[in-house]
Chains A and B, each alone.
Chain A
Amino acid sequence: MSVLPPDLDEAGFATFLEQLRGAVGADWVWSGEADMFPYRDSFSPVWNTGEERHASAAVAPADVEQVSEIVRIARRHRVPLFPISTGKNFGYGGPSPNVNGSVVLDLKRMNRVIEINEARAYALVEPGVSYFDLYREIQERGLKLMVDCPDPGWGSPIGNSLERGVGYTMPHFRDHFGAHCGMEVVLPDGEVMRTGMGALPGSDTWQEYPYGFGPDPAGLFAQGPFGVVTKMGFRLLPLPEYYRSGMISVPRRADFAKLVDHVNYLSDSGLIGEVEFGSPLSALMGDPQFLALATKTGGPSNAEMDAAAEAAGLHSWHVELQIFGPEATTLANWNYASDRILSDIPGAIAIAGDHFPLPATDDQLDNQTQPYRSSIKRRRSLGVPSLGAWKIVRDDGHVGFFPVLPRTAEAVFEMQRVLGDAMKEFPTLPPFFNALTMPLFWHTHTFQMVFAPSIKHDDPAHNAITHAAMKKCVAVAAQHGWGDYRAAPIYQDDVSDTYGFNNHILRRFHEQLKDAIDPDGIIAPGRGGVWPRRFRS
Chain B
Amino acid sequence: MKILRGPAIVLAASAALCGMAWGQSSNQPIVRNIERPDMPGRVIFARQCAPCHGTAPGDDGSPMLPGTAALTAKYEGRLPGLLELRSDLSAPVLNLFVRRGSGAMPMFRKAELSDADLAAIADYLAATARENASLAGH
Question: Which residues of A does B touch, CB under 8 Å?
Answer: 28, 30, 34-35, 37-40, 42-43, 58, 60, 86-88, 90, 94-95, 106, 108-109, 132, 153-154, 247, 249, 276-280, 282-283, 285, 314-315, 318, 320, 338-339, 342-343, 349-352, 366-368, 371-379, 386-398, 430, 432, 436-438, 450, 452
Which residues 1-59 of B sit at the A interface, judged by CB distance below 8 A?
Answer: 1-22, 47, 51-52, 57-59
B104 touches A397 (CB 8 A): yes
- Apart from A106-B111, A387-B65: 11 A-B pairs, beta carbons within 8 A: A37-B100, A58-B109, A249-B11, A282-B12, A351-B9, A366-B59, A390-B104, A391-B59, A393-B18, A394-B104, A432-B17
Residue in chain B with minimal CB distance to A365: B59
- Residue ranges of B at the interface with A (Cβ–Cβ < 8 Å): 1-22, 47, 51-52, 57-62, 65-67, 69, 99-101, 103-104, 106-112
Distance, CA A368 to CA B58, complexed state (A): 11
Whether A278 pairs with B13 at a CB distance below 8 angstroms is yes
Taking the nearest CB of chain B, how far is it from the CB of A241, in angstroms?
A: 21
Give CA–CA (A437, B19) in the complex, Å: 13
Name the distance in Å between B137's Cβ and chain A's nearest Cβ.
30
Q: B50: nearest residue on chain A (CB-CB)?
A: A387
Q: Is the CB of B59 within 8 A of A388?
A: yes
A38 touches B99 (CB 8 A): yes
A380 to chain B, nearest CB (A): 8
Say yes or no: A393-B104 contact (C-beta < 8 A), given A109-B111, A342-B2, A343-B1. yes
Query: Which of A95, A279, A342 has a CB less than 8 Å from the CB of B1?
Result: A342
Q: How far is the CB of B59 from the nearest CB of chain A, in Å?
A: 3
Q: Is the CB of A315 within 8 A of B111?
A: no
A283 to B107, CA, bound (A): 36
> Among A39, A320, A386, which residue has its beta carbon within 8 angstroms of that of B109?
A39
Let me know if A35 and B52 touch, CB within 8 A. no
State the 7 A-B residue pairs at the shortest beta-carbon distance, nearest first: A388-B59, A278-B14, A38-B107, A371-B7, A393-B104, A42-B106, A392-B18
The residue that A349 contacts in the complex, of B4, B58, B62, B106, with Cβ under 8 A, is B4
Query: Whose C-beta in chain B lies nearest to the C-beta of A368?
Result: B61
Chain B residues with Cβ below 8 Å from A371 are 6-7
Given the known A-B contacts A39-B109, A372-B10, are A350 and B3 also in contact in the complex, defined by CB atoms under 8 Å? yes
Whether A132 pairs with B52 at a CB distance below 8 angstroms is no
State whether A108 and B104 are in contact (beta carbons under 8 Å apart), knowing that A351-B11, A391-B66 are contacts in the complex: no
| Residues of B contacting A28 in the complex (Cβ-Cβ under 8 angstroms) | 111
Which residues of chain B have C-beta atoms less than 8 A from A395's C-beta?
103-104
Known: A37-B99, A351-B8, A386-B59. A372 touches B13 (CB 8 A): yes
Q: With both chains docked as a complex, state the minimum distance between the C-beta of A467 and any C-beta of chain B, in angstroms.
A: 18
Interface pairs (11), CB distance under 8 Å? A38-B107, A60-B111, A314-B12, A350-B3, A351-B5, A372-B13, A377-B59, A378-B60, A387-B51, A391-B62, A452-B18
B57 touches A372 (CB 8 A): no
Give complex CA distance A436, B69 in Å.
29
Q: Does B51 contact A386, Cβ atoms closer than 8 Å?
A: yes
Nearest-neighbor residue (CB-CB) of A314 within chain B: B12
Residues of A within 8 A of B57 (CB): 366
- Kindly report which residue of chain A lies nearest to residue B104, judged by CB atoms: A393
On whether the beta carbons of A392 and B16 are closer than 8 Å, the reply is yes
Residues of A within 8 A of B14 (CB): 277-280, 282, 375, 436, 438
Give the shortest distance, in Å, between B25 (CB) and chain A (any CB): 14
Choose among A40, A285, A367 the residue that contacts B107 (Cβ–Cβ < 8 A): A40
Q: Tell whether A315 pairs with B69 under 8 Å between CB atoms, given A28-B111, A40-B107, A395-B104.
A: no
